[in-house]
Structure 1
Amino acid sequence: MAAAVTASMQPKSMTRAKKWDEVVENAYRFQLAGYRDEEEYRSVKKVDSAEKWDNGFVKKLQRKDGCFYYYNKARECSDKDVPKTKLYNY
């Protein structure tokens, strides 16, 4: 599937999250579903954006194998998972 991502979509750098916020929460949800971030999700699934709750958190993602991940409206990224979450810069 890596061939579907063009060279212009590749990140320039990656950092690990230090503290929780909305950006880290959404990055965690994309990575849990097997994607690098929303950019990769949009390029693979050919959608404008992921379905989100009214608070901005990702609501539902389709994995690469076709199954779905459904997320709650509340925080799902625990404090122990924050440093494992990767944040990409373009």
Structure 2
Amino acid sequence: ASCTALAPKSVHRAQEWTTEVENLFRFQQAGYRDELEYLQVQHGIDKWPETGFVKKLQRRDNTFYYYSKKRECHESEVHKVKVYMY
């Protein structure tokens, strides 16, 4: 990690599903905190134009995750999603 990397000031668990929580769920599944950390490692993010949900993510081992344009973070998963504050 570089010294210029932003460190989160705090973190909390998501309380309810939102588009932001859906995307965080996808980043965290792929092994990243969030979009900021992803962009420090990878270049650019594919999103579904209709929903704004993340479409494809590259993991650190260079494998890819592909996501649906529909919601993938079920109610039972929402509370597991970490929301980082900078």
TM-score clears 0.5: yes
Deviation at 1:8, TM superposition (A): 4.7
1:84 is matched with: 80
**Which residue of the other structure, out of 12, 15, 35, is the alignment partner of 1:38?**
35
The answer for the alignment partner of 1:26 in structure 2 is: 23
What is the TM-score with the length of structure 2 in the denominator?
Answer: 0.93
Identity in percent: 54
2 CA distance for matches of 1:35 and 1:8?
Answer: 13
Q: Equivalent residues in 2 for 1:1-90 (5 A)?
A: 3-4=1-2, 6-45=3-42, 47=43, 49-54=44-49, 55-90=51-86
RMSD: 1.1
Listed as ranges, the gaps of 5+ residues in structure 2 are: none
Segments ≥4 residues shifted beyond 4 Å? none
More helix by share: 1
How many residues align? The count is 85
